[in-house]
């Protein structure tokens, strides 16, 4: 039997039953209150868990960075929200390419960001 001492670190350890129960509980709460759930993937950063959240009823996912969103899109997730300003030509080009592949929502709090998104 594998012991905790046998694990090389860092290691990802997931209590699957607890994680799935948390997904179900969050979705049930949103459903009870008539809310659309769009969870942030920052805790797990794993497409397989994002897909579990979608299967439970989430309308899409939230990613912090373009790279995270690209990984999720590559894995087949199709509705992604990036709530942070995207600046710089290279990132904006990646954002445009991503927009061609998925339903993508973004936010902006500056004219500079808006100009880049236009």
pLDDT at 11: 84
Instruction: Please report, in tens digits, the pLDDT of each residue of the chain (118 residues total).
Output: 888 888 898 988 899 999 999 999 999 999 999 999 999 999 899 999 999 999 999 999 999 999 999 999 999 999 999 999 888 889 999 999 999 999 999 998 888 777 777 7
pLDDT at 30: 98
CATH 3.30.1540.20 for domain 37-117, yes or no, is no
Q: Which long-range contacts (CB under 8 A, 24 or more apart) does 102-105 make?
A: 102/69, 102/73, 102/77, 102/78, 103/60, 103/78, 103/79, 104/69, 104/80, 105/60, 105/80, 105/81
Q: Where are the domains of the chain?
A: 37-117
């Amino acid at each position: 039997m594998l012991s905790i001492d046998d694990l090389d670190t860092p290691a990802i350890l997931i209590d699957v039953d607890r994680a799935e129960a948390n997904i179900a509980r969050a979705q049930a709460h949103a459903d009870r209150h008539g809310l659309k759930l769009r969870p942030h993937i920052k805790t797990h950063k794993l497409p397989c868990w994002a897909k579990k959240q979608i299967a439970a009823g989430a309308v899409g996912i939230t990613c912090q960075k373009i790279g995270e969103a690209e990984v999720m899109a590559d894995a087949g997730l199709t509705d992604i929200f990036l709530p942070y300003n995207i600046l710089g030509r290279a990132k904006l080009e990646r954002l445009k390419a991503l927009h061609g592949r998925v339903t993508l929502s973004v936010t902006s709090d500056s004219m500079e960001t808006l100009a880049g998104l236009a």
